Amino acid sequence: MATTAVKITTIGNSVGIILPKEILTRLHLEKGDQLYITETPTGINLTPYDQSFSEEMEAARRIMRENRDVLRKLAE
């Protein structure tokens, strides 16, 4: 996998990065699409937004919140 350097720049009143066309093509993204930004032990991972995955993750968060005591006990 190739490494691509990008520069943090001002975008309106915020800051952001401009993704090169090659990256957008590889991720099958266009202007206005959404990305997932996931922190990993080795850095940040960008993946295309997936509505069904988002719904599944929200259900998992809800279950973990509702059952946090049980899950904590199981983790011991």
pTM of the model: 0.53
pLDDT in tens, the chain (76 residues): 567 888 999 999 999 998 899 888 988 898 888 888 889 999 988 888 777 877 888 898 899 889 989 888 888 8
- Buried residues in 36-55 as b, exposed as e (16+ CB within 10 A): eeeeeeeeeeeeeeeeeeee
Residue 19 burial (CB count, 10 A): 15
pLDDT of residue 16: 92
| CA 37 to centroid of chain Cα atoms | 2
